[in-house]
Amino acid sequence: MSDSKKIIVALDKSDAGSALELAARLDPAYCRVKVGKELFTSAGPDVVEQLHKLGFDVFLDLKFHDIPNTVAGAVKSAAALGVWMVNVHASGGERMMAAAREAIDSHAGQAPLLIAVTVLTSMDQVEMQSIGLSAQVSEQVELFATLAAGAGCDGVVCSAHEAKLLGGGNSSLLKVTPGIRLAGDDASDQRRVMTPTRAIESGASYLVIGRSVTGAVDPVKTLKAISADLASL
């Protein structure tokens, strides 16, 4: 993979002040950052602008899932913010994802990467069955990845456990993998987790890392150590 910045740090904070204070302790030479629902709902688009001023590429992780026209409008607004990556839920269907693709392609400036969420890394087989999905997790991920590819998405969000399974027609898709933990870290509410080096070896393109970096005494030192490990692969 030509992109040397494989780490996306999750700024899972409830307000702009805390998020920007954390971002100031990071280094955009080693990572990008993710703005999720909690932070964006609290701080709005301004926090994206402030992160850009700090030199960070931003993954806007709002997981849009609605009727095609609504998702297209939301993705177009995200593109206007200048974000590097935006995502939708693959379970919204191929027509919804295709509408998002068309909206991004109509954007006059630099287009963000369009990524489709497959199966949340917090879910396991039991939870899948509880919502009426009888397929194995890996099979469901492959189905969603095929739909995403058909709709023109640039990649998918999946666990590193499924990244290595997405071969064949889905091999060109970027694989964005949450649930990344350093050896010895608590998995917390995640179920399908993996260490950074194992995730890249399994086919991940980008690693979403939260508390393993943001909770470190020296986040930049931790980032540099992870980056060095990945560069040695």
Q: Reply yes or no on whether the pLDDT at 63 is more than 70.
A: yes
186, pLDDT greater than 70:
no
Percent of the chain with pLDDT over 90: 69
Alpha-helical segments (H) within 151-192: 160-163
Q: How high is the pLDDT of residue 187?
A: 47
What does the pLDDT average to over 169-194? Answer: 71
Among 6, 34, 63, 175, the one annotated catalytic: 63
| CA 104-105-108 angle, 5° bins | 90
Cα separation, 103 vs 174, in Å, equals 20
**What pLDDT score does 192 carry?**
54
What rounded mean pLDDT belongs to the chain? 90
115, 206, 112, 110: which is closest to 152 by C-alpha? 115
Answer yes or no: 53 catalytic: no
Which has more confidence, 184 or 165?
Answer: 165
The whole-angstrom separation of Cα 201 and Cα 195 is 10
pLDDT above 90 for 1: no
Give me the domains of the chain, ranges plus CATH numbers: 7-231 (3.20.20.70)
What number is the average pLDDT over the span 86-100?
Answer: 97
Query: Could you tell me the two tokens for 32?
Result: 């990008």
Instruction: Provide the 10 A C-beta neighbour count for residue 167.
Output: 9
Q: What would the pLDDT profile of 3-58 be if each residue is shown by its tens digit?
A: 779 999 999 999 999 999 999 999 999 999 999 999 999 999 999 999 999 999 99
**Integer Cα distance of 85 and 79 in angstroms:** 9
Using DSSP, state whether 138 is helix, strand or coil. helix
pLDDT band at 193 (very low <50, low <70, confident <90, very high): low
